[in-house]
Structure 1
Amino acid sequence: MDTELTTLTARLLAHRVIERGDPLARRALMDDGFRAELDQRLADVGLRLVENPYAEHLAVAMLPELTESVFGSGDAWMNNNMGLPRDGVALLVILWALIVLPKRERQIARVEAGKENQSDMFGAQKPLETGEAVSTGVSEDAVYADFGKALGGRTRFNANLGRLANLGFVVRRNRMIAEGPMLDLLIDYGHLAPRIIEGALSEVLGARREAAQEAAQRNGEEGEGA
């Protein structure tokens, strides 16, 4: 067990994220004794394992009680340890809201639907759906049209988007922004989601949702007409 613990701890620190399906990651999620020792090893250096049943990866983050001593306080407070400027952090939160919030709604809806239709006694232990089945990307051009000027213009927007891609928060493909392995792990859904849903981004997200529904409805009507 000691060798596997050492290997998993080193991989988490070196690679920052590990796929949930990895044998050592699965053991950390299923073996209580192994998980307890892993948690203790990470806690000894001020870290904790970060995972949630909706995410495809595991990662490590700082223990909350060490935040002030590491990041400082007052005017000296650092809002991240990845070199992201303030507009980069703002873009990160926006992309999280546009990609992860809708994904989580779909995942929760599927789980609830599964409970209603569940007939086998072991259904509750089946893995939750993740990946492309529930996660969709957003257009770079659409995000820039909505938020680009507020985030410093095209040059700053592209630079920060590149930083987020390099850090593993997002993946860029053909001018589309998709979820990266870090996006659904290092932002606290329970803490941030209510603020976004009820706060400044609520109107933008609501308008996007309505537009998507209208487009889907139009596509459906066109398909029926054909």
Structure 2
Amino acid sequence: MEHELKTLTARLLAQRWLPRGDKLVRRALVDETFRLELDRRLADVGLRLLDNPYAAHVGVALQPELAEPVFGAGREYAASNLGLTRDEVALLVILWALIVLPKRQRQVTRRELVDDGQTDLFGGDKPVAHGDAVSGTLTEASLIADFGPRLGGRTKVRNFMLGKLARLGFIERRNGLVTEGPLLDLALDYRVMADRIIHGTLGEILEAAGHAPPESNAFELAEVLPDEAEALDEED
């Protein structure tokens, strides 16, 4: 077990995130002894494992109490410890709302992108799906047309902002399409953001642009997370 723990810890530190289906990651999710030792080793250097059962990846982050000592000296920390500007943070939140919120609703109801919910009588018994089966795509053209003027212009959004978010791992860009990256669902806290977006000002902006987030009951989706995490561990 020692070699596996060293290997997984080193890979998490070097690569920042790993797919949930990775052999050692799966062991950390189902082997309590292995997970406790992994958590201890990460905690020794001020880190914690990011494990969202609805996300397709796991990653590492600073323990909350160390965020200020580590990042507080930089002026940009007030907005982001990744050096994101206010406009870039705004675009990131918009992308999260347009990709993750609809995806989460499909995951909770066990529906896939091609499923209208009428053909599978036992859909609720299926394991939570990840990846392309539930995660939708956006076209860069429509995204820029709807939100570019609010975020500094088309050129800025296309050539700089989307590229930066892709390099950081929040999104992936391919043939004019924007899809979910490893960190989009993992690094942003669903419990904090969902209800604020659905019932807040951003929800009104998205609706005006024709991209209204689903009228899902955000409280109910948030409440299901702990139970789902336990169920997923048992399934794995």
**TM-score strictly above 0.5:** yes
Residues matched between the structures, number: 205
- Name the SS of the counterpart of 1:185 in structure 2: helix
Q: Which residue of 2 aligns with 1:54?
A: 54
For residues 37 and 211 of structure 2, what CA distance do their matches in structure 1 show? 44
Q: Which residue of 1 aligns with 2:166?
A: 165
Residue 91 (str. 1) matches residue 91 (str. 2): yes
Q: Which residue of 2 aligns with 1:192?
A: 193
Please report how far the alpha carbon of residue 143 of structure 1 lies from its aligned counterpart in structure 2 after TM superposition.
1.4
For residues 34 and 78 of structure 1, what CA distance do their matches in structure 2 show? 36
* 1:17-166 correspondence to structure 2 within 5 Å: 17-72=17-72, 77-110=77-110, 127-158=127-158, 159-166=160-167
Q: Does the C-alpha gap of structure 1 residues 211 and 151 become closer, same or farther in structure 2, counting only changes over 3 Å?
A: closer
- Name the SS of the counterpart of 1:184 in structure 2: helix
> What's the TM-score, normalizing by structure 1?
0.81
For residues 209 and 154 of structure 1, what CA distance do their matches in structure 2 show? 18
Identity of aligned residues (%): 58
The aligned amino acid for 1:96 is W
Q: Which residue of 1 aligns with 2:222?
A: none
For residues 94 and 53 of structure 1, what CA distance do their matches in structure 2 show? 22
For residues 43 and 50 of structure 1, what CA distance do their matches in structure 2 show? 12
Q: Which residue of 1 aligns with 2:176?
A: 175
Does the CA contact (< 8 Å) of 1:141 and 1:175 recur in 2? yes
For residues 56 and 212 of structure 2, what CA distance do their matches in structure 1 show? 28
Which residues of structure 2 form unaligned runs of 5+?
A: 112-116, 215-236
Please report how far the alpha carbon of residue 79 of structure 1 lies from its aligned counterpart in structure 2 after TM superposition.
2.7
> Which one has the largest radius of gyration?
1
> What's the TM-score, normalizing by structure 2?
0.78
Runs of 4+ in 1 over 3 A off after TM superposition: 73-78, 116-119, 204-212
For residues 47 and 79 of structure 2, what CA distance do their matches in structure 1 show? 17
- RMSD value, Cα: 2.7
